Amino acid sequence: MKLELNLAEEIGSSLSDGSVAAEFRMGRMDPNAGICSQIVLDFTGVRSANSSFVNALVAGFIELHGQQGLDRLVFKGCNPVLRVLVESAISLGLEKHAQVV
């Protein structure tokens, strides 16, 4: 099963609130981590985002679910700025997960 989440449609085109991202992750992503073979985070239509949002969404997910969680994530529609934020969040999440394990 694949879960596709269009962030612009579900949250908005400006992603800047880390608490909104954490709430979205806990409500939509975490419960599906063990069920879905892929969780697609579609950034199509997102005009701006900050590290607070992307870290809470991506790093938080990876910190909790580790490499298995990362293997399920697919990133779609990332512009160059979003790509840098996502790559940084992936590194942060893996680093935090390694500290917990």
pLDDT score at 100: 78
Residue numbers of the domain that contains 47: 2-100
Say how far apart CA 100 and CA 92 lie, in whole Å: 13
The closest alpha carbon to 80, from 58, 49, 57, 38, belongs to 49
Count: domains in the chain: 1
pLDDT score at 20: 98
pTM assigned to the model: 0.95
pLDDT score at 70: 97
pLDDT tens over the chain, length 101 residues: 999 999 999 999 999 999 999 999 999 999 999 999 999 999 999 999 999 999 999 999 999 999 999 999 999 999 999 999 999 999 999 999 999 76
